[in-house]
Amino acid sequence: MTILHIDSSINGNTSASREVSGSIVNQLKGALWGEEVVYRDLAANPLPHLTLEAFADTRTLDEFMAADTIVIGAPMYNFTVPSQLKAWIDRIVIAGATFRYTENGPEGLAKGKRVIIAIARGGIYSEGSPTAAFEHVETYLRGVFNMIGIEPEFVVAEGVNLSPEHRVAAIENALGETIRLAA
């Protein structure tokens, strides 16, 4: 079993999404046996913006396809994912590889993988909140992974910038959720 662990926060070791994604990987490693973890830090080693020529390089796609479980740290930057993570997505959502067009619409070809996403948001965007319509991390990533045949799972730490107390509580709550994921 191979776990692909992706981080995309620019906040180094103060990052909430890195703390939660790391905890998810640790929980999975504790629950499983013999799995290999491949780690990609998209902030430390960014992929360039997509170009036509870049389609010829399938290393990122191959690494994704070789993984059974993918754990992603996804902070909210300006209402959506960091451009570092978008550049990674541009290399894995590929017609003919991870989805194909059919007469009935697109069909996902990456079925069977488990994708777990650790989201960190400075404000509150959960359902029913006044700013819920500005949430384009969870909704976007659900759409991306549904497109390629995967129903992603989410662990969310939100409101981390509201106050230091709120930050601690939101991260602790998310870390508690990670225990449930490995059960």
What are the residues binding ligand FMN (CB under 6 A)? 9, 11, 15-18, 75-79, 120-123, 160-161
- Give the closest residue to 154 by CA, choosing from 33, 86, 84, 70: 70
Closest CA to 70 of 82, 61, 79, 78: 61
Q: How far is the CB of 172 from ligand FMN (least distance, A)?
A: 14
Whose Cβ is closer to ligand FMN: residue 70's or residue 120's? 120
- Kindly tell me which of 1 and 132 has the beta carbon lying closer to ligand FMN: 132
Distance (Å, whole) CA 55 – CA 154: 29
Nearest to ligand FMN of 15, 60 (CB atom): 15
Cβ-based nearer residue to ligand FMN, 77 or 140: 77
Q: Which C-beta is closer to ligand FMN: that of 115 or that of 170?
A: 170
Smallest gap from Cβ 132 to ligand FMN, in A, equals: 12
Spatial distance between the Cα atoms of 32 and 183, rounded to a whole number of angstroms: 10
- With beta carbons less than 8 A apart as the criterion, state whether 181 and 27 touch: yes
Nearest to 138 by CA among 130, 149, 127: 127
Q: Which two tokens stand for residue 70?
A: 């993918």
- The letter for the amino acid at 132 is A
Please report how close the Cβ of residue 178 comes to ligand FMN at its closest, in angstroms: 15
CB of residue 96 to ligand FMN, shortest distance in Å: 33
User: Residue 37 forms beta bridges with which residues?
Assistant: 3
Shortest Cβ 117–ligand FMN spacing (Å): 12
